[in-house]
Structure 1
Amino acid sequence: MSPYKKAIPIFVGMTFLYFISMYAYVPILSPYAQNLGATLSMIGVITGAYGLIQVFLRIPLGIASDKMRRRKVFVMAGMAMNIVAALVMLFADSPVWVLLCRMCSGAAAVAWVHISVLFTSYFPAHKSAQAISILNAISYSGNMCGTLLGGAIGNSFGVQAAFITSIIAGAVSLVISFFIKENRPPVAQEPITVKKLLLMGKEKNLLIVSILAVLIQLIAFGTTFGFVPIQADALGATSMQQSILTAMASLSAFCSSFLVGIVFTKYIGKYLTIIIGFVLAFITTAAFPYMTSIMGLYVVQFIGGFAKGMIFPTLMSLSIESVAPEKRSTAMGFFQAIYGVGMFLGPTLTGFISDLIGMTGGFWVIGSMGIIGAIITAFYARMNKNQPALNP
């Protein structure tokens, strides 16, 4: 029996609250910034700052964690940054403060890497896949519960209550984090360096897969977490309806990611799964500005989330499939560092384009990335037709 068996429930509770704190106010973030006077371009920068901070912090903090052989302190820092982000939102009186909030939230999100590494250390090596699946379930459930809880409370007591909900959940998760156990490696592991990551860029398959990940993140963060809430606000959506709208994407992504391994890739293959996902992403993104009811947005959002769930897990598996086993950790680090760029570019581009030619044009331009992704995938599939993947 694992000596960390009793520590697992405590860790699960902390992680669940971590996601509730992070997502309790996300559905109302863009409309809130707009009400404070933010332009569409500024809203794009605010939304994108969440991803940009992760691009800059993920690698150096990962290297520092490996050298120190410590994860717990970084996990605790993530819990604390969630509280800081919500506190900033609670007292924000201008879009600049909302931007600072998203930067703090992005810093908090970096802790997810350390949470994952620490949690998997509680399990034997042959059960690492089980540990990751548990964490993914916590991630999705915490995300959905956070958005729905924040929306319900905000709808009943005002938007400020959603920020207070985030602060309370963050504070409890921080207290719990003091009691989690740390399983330190006996010797310092060789860290992933910037030089190693740059060298991984020479791996053609990995580079293409990472570019595809940038495209789907660009679409997701330009729509679900960026400008779909603005569209819903224009249709008179309440805080609760905004929360349901965001939860729709998470729910459908969870469903489709579950089906990827047992249905889609098994019967139609990985490449066709990605192509269909990108085509659906294009159709739904282009359809958003033409929805005239909240129910219509729900349907389109659900399909769009389903598309992302088809694409992203498949890309994650492809990112290490053609890489030698001893390089797979570095390959995953490269993949994660690159796709963060899409989290910044998606909302930023959508915002600037929307200010220039309107939100309909912004949705169409961002949606076109789905067509580009489908075309790249088709060429990639043809290129790899006769190249078998490496075995684990």
Structure 2
Amino acid sequence: MKKLILLVVTCLFWFSLYLYIPFLTPFLISLGLSATLAGVIFGAHSFVQLLARLPVGMKSEAIGKQKPFIMMGMLFTAISSIVMWAFPSPAMLLVGNAISGFASTMYVSFTLLYARYYTKEETGKAMGVLGGVVEVGILAAFVSGGILYEQAGIRLLFFVSAAVAAIGLVISAFVKEKPEAKEAVSIQTLLSVVRDRRLVTSSVLGILIKALVFATAFAFTPKMAQDIGANGIEVGIVSAVFIGASVIGSFFVATKAGKRLGGRKTSVIGFACLLLNTVAIPFITSIPALIAVQFVGGLGYASLTAIFMTNAVSNFGEDKKAVAMGFYQAVYSAGSTLGPVLMGIFADAFHYKVAYLLIALIAVAGIIVTLASYPKHGQTASEGHTA
């Protein structure tokens, strides 16, 4: 039961955070903002994560409690949506999106507490299941968001997001946790964690994944869909298909077939899927074709996320796992911050076609880093590579 309660809260958390995401960039551009400024506002969410995630991970580890941070995440998610609902101006959307970024930093506590419900050997399975639930929450958000947006616009999405977060806050009060008080993390411990080769490599790959996906699927691909005639529901479907495929990819990593394929091959295939998605999008002129390439991209995205999240912490015991997870999630936030900004800059300087092709080079870099960092043999998706 304790696993189910946390999974429900996790699903509501990500539903609330992502309900309005496909429509935020198009809405900002409709207000007359440049693509660059729209990318900056969109990226504010991740910039706050970059600053706050590691301190949150260290603090939660020091006090030995994750539940307070989980509840805080739900609370600030509600606050961020209320701010954007009440004051839907560019400046306040920046503020609200930054607050939602602070709320997102609390996800490290979700992952750490859920991992405690399993043995160390089952960490890969735990992260695969939790990652799948995250994608289910986002999928439901995109489908619901498309329907609601078509009916009443983006302000309704902000209101519903706040309401769902409030419900999640109430349910989170029932999350079960056995506190494990520990000493504050020392500088020596922090340095020993951040020097781990497996963690650093996973974090670099995480930056590339997030930069690519946040520049395209989450930020500007919805605008591309609108440009070829998609209505609100169709924009929601385009985004939902990406996440729907991600659910499949996330659960695949935890299967025997995924483990047999291995982390090296799965990672290369994942980046190749995202490369195809990014290169194809600016040349597509029909909604069905866009949905098809979104499905391909989604398959790659979640499989990569599950693999590198598992690898990032697999070298560490319980005493250092929170710091490692906080570091990993903080560092990859650099990618989700810079990706939308770079896409906006490229779009303003050149054209969206050129911008997408330039962003696609990130996927190429991901393939190169993967091939350089993974051993050729004996590698499973959940094992990672040796430090």
- TM-score scaled by length of structure 1: 0.87
Stretches of structure 1 that go unaligned for 5 or more consecutive residues are none
Identity %, equivalent residues: 30
1:155 pairs with one of 141, 150, 158: 150
Task: Kindly indicate whether residue 307 of structure 2 is the aligned counterpart of residue 314 of structure 1.
Answer: yes
Write the mapping of 1:2-41 to structure 2, written as runs, cut at 5 A.
5=1, 7-41=2-36
- Report the more deviating stretch, 157-166 or 211-220: 157-166
Checking the alignment, whether the CA contact within 8 Å between 2:215 and 2:341 is kept in structure 1 is yes
What is the alpha-carbon distance in structure 1 between the residues aligned to residue 294 and residue 38 of structure 2? 20
Task: Kindly indicate whether residue 137 of structure 2 is the aligned counterpart of residue 142 of structure 1.
Answer: yes
What is the alpha-carbon distance in structure 2 between the residues aligned to residue 279 and residue 123 of structure 1? 32
- Report the more deviating stretch, 191-200 or 368-377: 191-200
What is the alpha-carbon distance in structure 2 between the residues aligned to residue 96 and residue 196 of structure 1? 40
What is the alpha-carbon distance in structure 1 between the residues aligned to residue 176 and residue 374 of structure 2? 44
1:361 maps to a residue whose letter is: V
Matching residue of 1:183: 178
Matching residue of 1:300: 293
Matching residue of 1:220: 213
What is the alpha-carbon distance in structure 2 between the residues aligned to residue 131 and residue 324 of structure 1? 15
What is the alpha-carbon distance in structure 2 between the residues aligned to residue 326 and residue 120 of structure 1? 10
Stretches of structure 2 that go unaligned for 5 or more consecutive residues are none
Matching residue of 1:86: 81
Q: Secondary structure at the match of 2:229?
A: coil
Q: Deviations over 1:228-250 (max 9, x none)?
A: 01111222322221211111111
Checking the alignment, whether the CA contact within 8 Å between 1:45 and 1:348 is kept in structure 2 is yes
Write the mapping of 1:237-248 to structure 2, written as runs, cut at 5 A.
237-248=230-241
**CA drift at 1:88:** 2.0
How many equivalent residue pairs? 382
**CA drift at 1:108:** 1.3
2:373 pairs with one of 372, 380, 392: 380
Task: Kindly indicate whether residue 111 of structure 2 is the aligned counterpart of residue 116 of structure 1.
Answer: yes
Q: CA RMSD in A?
A: 2.9
What is the alpha-carbon distance in structure 2 between the residues aligned to residue 342 and residue 125 of structure 1? 29
What is the alpha-carbon distance in structure 2 between the residues aligned to residue 124 and residue 266 of structure 1? 21
Checking the alignment, whether the CA contact within 8 Å between 2:310 and 2:384 is kept in structure 1 is no
What is the alpha-carbon distance in structure 1 between the residues aligned to residue 82 and residue 384 of structure 2? 48
Checking the alignment, whether the CA contact within 8 Å between 1:70 and 1:184 is kept in structure 2 is yes
1:363 maps to a residue whose letter is: Y
**CA drift at 1:121:** 4.5
- TM-score scaled by length of structure 2: 0.88
1:92 maps to a residue whose letter is: F
What is the alpha-carbon distance in structure 2 between the residues aligned to residue 20 and residue 331 of structure 1? 26
Matching residue of 2:67: 72
**CA drift at 1:350:** 0.9
What is the alpha-carbon distance in structure 2 between the residues aligned to residue 201 and residue 69 of structure 1? 21
Q: Deviations over 1:254-304 (max 9, x none)?
A: 21232234334514x322222222222222211111111222221111111
Checking the alignment, whether the CA contact within 8 Å between 1:197 and 1:334 is kept in structure 2 is no
Matching residue of 2:203: 210
2:150 maps to a residue whose letter is: N
Matching residue of 2:359: 366
1:54 maps to a residue whose letter is: Q
